[in-house]
Amino acid sequence: MTEPLRLGIAGLGTVGAGVVKIVRQKAALIAARGGRPITISAVCARNRAKDRGVSLDGYAWEDDPVALAQRDDVDVFVELVGGSDGPAKAATEAALRAGKDVVTANKALLAHHGQALAEAAEAGGAVLRFEAAVAGGIPVVKALTEGLAGNEITRVMGVMNGTCNYILTRMESAGLTYDQAFAEADGLGYLEADPNLDVGGIDAGHKLSLLASIAFGTQVAFDAVELEGIGRVSIEDIRQAADMGYKVKLLGVCRMTGRGLEQRMSPCLVPATSPLGQLDGGTNMVVIEGDQVGQIVLRGPGAGEGPTASAVMGDVIDIARGTRISTFGQPAATLDKATPAQTATPAPYYLRLMLLDKPGALAKVAAVLGEAGVSINRMRQRSHDQNTAPVLIVTHKTTRAALDTALAAMVGTQVVEGEPVALRIEQV
C-alpha cells in the first residue's frame, strides 16, 4: 500500500486546523508510521476566508460537508463539524453509505446515533473511529477496545470534562464559590456555548456512554446515563470532604451488574490520595478495571488543538496501516440492548445537614438513619454560633433507596434545616 490515504476534512476549527498542521508539517513522520503518504484532498468549513494559521493551498474547497464526504478523491472523511444532528450526521451517513471510512471527534453524534452509525459503517464496508471523542489526547478508546480486549471489564470510571474539574479544583484551591469559579472558567473560554453541556455533565455523559458500549458489548445508551451536574456542589462540601480525606469530582462510572447496566455521571467523593483524587485542573483521567489486568489508569489532556488532533491522527494512521475494527469493538449486530440498572451499586455516602439547636436533635437524625438501615461510619458536629449546627456524616455502604428513605424521614423530624446534601463516595 503505497497509494496515499486521502483525507477530506469537514470543520476547520481548532482541531481541524491542528490536523491540517500535522498532515502538512509531519508528512514524512506519519508516512513512515502509516506505511503510505497521508494527504488532504478537500476541506470544508463555514467561513472560507478565516485565517487558521495554516495554509490550505492545494486542497479543494467544499461548502457542503455532505458533498465533501462523497468526493471520489476522499478515502477518509474526518468529521470535525460537531453537533449530534444536522450536517455532521448527514455527512457522516453519506460517507459511510459511500463506503468511506470516517474519523470523528464528535461525542454527541455517537452518543445519540452510535448504534445506527456503526451499522451503517458495517453495511458500507467502512470503519468509523472516534478516539478524539473521548478524553481528548488519551488513547482510551484504543486501550479499551484493543489493548484490554482479553478482559471482562468490571468497571470504567472517568473524569472526562476538564472544565468541570477546573471549576472544582479552583473552588478547593482558591476558595472560590461555584459562581466565581464558573465565571473564571467562562472568562478563560473553557465553557461550551451551552455551558450546561459541561457543568450539567452532558458532555462527559456522552463520553461515558461510548466507553460503556465498548466495555460491556452493549448498544450505546446515553439516555440511560444517570446525569447530575456540578451546579449544586458547594464550597462547604468541598472543604468538609477535603477535611475527611476526600476530593469532589464529576465522576463517570459504568459497570455491568446483575441488575443491569449502571451508568452514572455525578459529583462523587474519591479518596484524596487516589489517582482520581490527585487529578487537579483541566486534565482528564480514565480508570479501567478488568478481571485479568486489575486497574489501569490513563491520564492526559482532555481537550485542545494538539491533543485532539493527536487522537484524530491516531485513528487516521490506523486506517493507513489497514487496521479495521468494529466501531464498538465487535460487530454492531452483536451488541446487546442493555437493561439499565434501576438502582446503583451500594456505596458509602457523605451527608451534610444543618441541625437545629434543639435537645435530642442529633439522636433523631441518627434514629431515622438507623431505621432506614443506613449505618454511620463517621459523624462530626462542628461547633457553631448560630441556631443551626453543621453535621457531617459518612455512612457505611448503603443503597441509594435506603438513603433516600432516611433523608425523607429526616424532614419529618423537624430538627434539620433545609435539604441535606448527599454525595456518593465511589470506592476506587
HSE-CB at 147 with a 13 A cutoff on CA atoms is 11
| Grid cell for residue 384 | 457553631
The β-bridge partners of 260 are: 257
Measured from the CB atom, is 8 or 267 closer to a copy of itself?
Answer: 8
Looking from the CA of 133 toward its CB, the CA atoms found within 13 Å total 34
By C-beta, is 200 or 314 nearer to a copy of itself? 314
Cα 345 to Cα 226: distance, rounded to the nearest angstrom: 13
Q: Beta strands of 258-361 (E only): which ranges?
A: 260-271, 283-290, 294-301, 349-356
Residue given cell 489501569 in the structure block: 296
* Rounded Cα distance, 364 and 371, in Å: 10
Residue 309 or 369: which CB sits closer to a copy of itself? 309
Minimum gap (Å) between residue 157 Cβ and a copy of itself: 14
Q: Are 74 and 8 in contact (CB under 8 A)?
A: yes
**Burial class of 333 by CB neighbour count within 10 A (0 to 12, 13 to 18, 19+):** exposed
Strands 388-395 and 376-381, by their bridges, are: antiparallel
Is residue 219 within 8 Å of residue 336, measured between CB atoms? yes
Contact indicator for 311, 131 with CB cutoff of 8 Å: yes
Beta strands in 130-274, from DSSP E residues, in sequence order? 153-159, 226-227, 246-257, 260-271
Tell me which residues are annotated as active site. 207
Nearest CA to 345 out of 265, 276, 261, 269 is that of: 261
Kindly state the smallest distance separating residue 25's Cβ from a copy of itself, in Å.
10
Q: Give the integer Cα–Cα distance in Å for 412 and 387.
A: 19
Residue with smaller CB distance to a copy of itself, 326 or 345? 326
Separation of alpha carbons 328 and 118, rounded Å: 8
CB of residue 31 to a copy of itself, shortest distance in Å: 9
Find where cell 468509523 sits: 128
Torsion, CA 280, CA 282, CA 288, CA 294, rounded to 10: -30
Cα 173 to Cα 180: distance, rounded to the nearest angstrom: 13
Task: For 177-204, give the DSSP string.
Answer: -HHHHHHHHHHTT-S-SSTHHHHTSHHH
Chain residues binding a copy of itself by CB under 8 A are 18, 22, 26, 29-30, 32-35, 131, 137-139, 142-143, 146-152, 217, 273, 275, 278, 290-301, 304, 306-307, 309-314, 316-318, 321-326, 329-331, 334
Quote the least distance from Cβ 359 to a copy of itself, whole Å. 47
